[in-house]
Amino acid sequence: MKIQERTGAGAGRSAAPAQPSVGDRLPSPPRERKPALAALAVLLILLGALGATMLVLRVGERVEVVKVTKDIPPGGKITDQNSTIVMVADDPGINYIKESQLKTIQTYQTVTMIPGGTLPVGEMFAKEPKMPAGKASVGVALKEGQYYADIKGGDTVAAYRVGSRGTSSSDSEQGSSSSSSGNALIANASVEKVTGDSDATVSTGSKSITLLVDEADAAALASASSAGEVALVRVPGK
- Chain centroid to CA 176: 47
Does some domain include residue 38? Answer: no
Does some domain include residue 36? Answer: no
Does some domain include residue 216? Answer: yes
pTM: 0.48
Q: Is residue 106 located within the same domain as residue 162?
A: no
Does some domain include residue 57? Answer: no
Q: Is residue 140 located within the same domain as residue 111?
A: no
> How many domains does the chain contain in total?
2
Neighbours of 72 (CB within 10 A): 26
Spell out the per-residue pLDDT of the chain, length 238, in tens: 445 555 444 555 555 555 555 555 656 666 656 677 777 777 788 777 777 766 655 555 788 999 999 888 777 889 999 999 998 888 788 889 999 999 999 999 888 778 889 999 988 888 876 777 788 889 998 988 899 988 888 888 999 988 754 444 444 444 443 444 356 889 888 888 888 755 444 456 788 898 988 889 999 999 998 888 899 999 886 5
The CATH code of the domain that includes 99 is 3.90.1210.10
